[in-house]
Amino acid sequence: MKKILILLLLACWVVNGYAQWIPEFLTTSPDIKEENNNKLTLDIDAVGFFKNNEYFSPLSKGQTFPGIRFIPKAGYQIDNKLRFELGVLGLYLSGNQDDDVLSTFNEFYARIQYAIRPNLHLVFGNLYGGANHRLIEPLYRWDNQLVEKQESGLQVIYKDDRFFADVWVDWRRYIEHGDSVPEILNFGLSASARLSPEENDFQLTLPFQLLIYHQGGQIDTSDEKMIVTGNVATGLKMKWKLHGRTIRSLGFDTYLLGYYDKLSNKELRPYDNGWAVYPVFKAETKYIDLMAGYYHGCQFYSVDGDPLFSSFNLRYPDEVHKTRQLFTAKVSYFKQLHKSFSIGAQAESYFDIKLNKFDYSFGINLRLNTKVISR
């Protein structure tokens, strides 16, 4: 009961500027900077992180992520239109003594980006992925961006003062004719439209998010069954600017979510459709952001979402819980210490009403994004 009361007290708060809960230290602007025109650059983008997930739910076990993710890359930019970047992505996990130094640089990095207009970008290769898609937590578990492979494929991004649209194809496994494994890809759409003028103290925004996961193909020899699953989320976001010295804004978001499995496999994915509702209270203060919400789901599942919100988990096929009810409460801190580096911290908590489980996580991060050479 004490844990529930704490969560309810926090429910008067929370938000960030994008969706429900998106760590700012993981986002990168797609804008092409004029200062890099017709120059060869060498950049370093590095994130040091420590995130400890103390999970006791039967649907998701606890795990700790201590490490550094870094991308040294060279780039060249033509006017304000075209930018090409080439580098490597390294992931160092503290205490991992099995890998040698060379295996730390485990991914090739390549991106070519064309600015059709200053606010419309076409991206090939490594995408502005992860938290940049602004997906809500039941659809995307944000700490995946720290330790999973970089998204790669095709992306179109549009953003202005009132509209945001991000359309992408993340090609997770490329195959050739006769390969013994199927191709895997994700299609995504994340969009929002602000209905009120920016100068208004009251802001009203309509979000829409769509994810389709596909596994299969026509040119492989795999015996694995084809998979086509999808998620959709929409709702209404409200925000009140308070202009206070301490509390800057208050907000309330309500999301409706859906799940659909076109080719269900009852042994692994027991439900072929489901739904959820997720209202969230938010507050932005001078020093920290706060969030609290109530999640109610029935037969819901998302491939990349946090398993705490799903009715089943492929890793634990014996654990199937048709209805999910969670109280969530979170707090985050972010500060830009210098134009090249920032620091952040967060704490997250989840109380499962039906299972009587209390799960929580906490972490700290430091990001360096700096230009080493520009000629």
Assigned token pair, 335:
């500060």
Range of the domain at 23: 2-374
Q: Average pLDDT for residues 250-256, to the nearest whole number?
A: 96
How many residues are recorded in the chain? 375
**Alpha carbon distance 13, 292 (integer Å):** 6
Give tens-digit pLDDT for 157-171. Answer: 999 999 999 999 999
Residue keyed to tokens 């080439």: 86
- Local structure of 367: helix, strand or coil: strand
What pLDDT score was predicted for residue 26? Answer: 87
Give tens-digit pLDDT for 203-245. Answer: 999 999 999 999 998 888 888 889 999 999 999 999 999 988 8
Instruction: Please count the structural domains in the chain.
Output: 1
User: DSSP character for 225?
Assistant: P
pLDDT class of 72 with cuts at 50, 70, 90? very high
What CATH number does residue 176 fall under? 2.40.160
pTM of the model: 0.90
Q: Average pLDDT for residues 319-345, to the nearest whole number?
A: 93
Planar angle of CA 121, 122, 126, nearest 5 degrees = 110
Residue pair 71/88 in contact (Cβ under 8 Å)? The answer is: yes
Give tens-digit pLDDT for 303-324. Answer: 999 999 999 999 998 999 999 9
pLDDT class of 101 with cuts at 50, 70, 90? low
If we measure between CA atoms, which residue out of 11, 23, 9, 17 comes closest to residue 346?
Answer: 23
**Alpha carbon distance 212, 258 (integer Å):** 12
Residue keyed to tokens 């090249």: 340
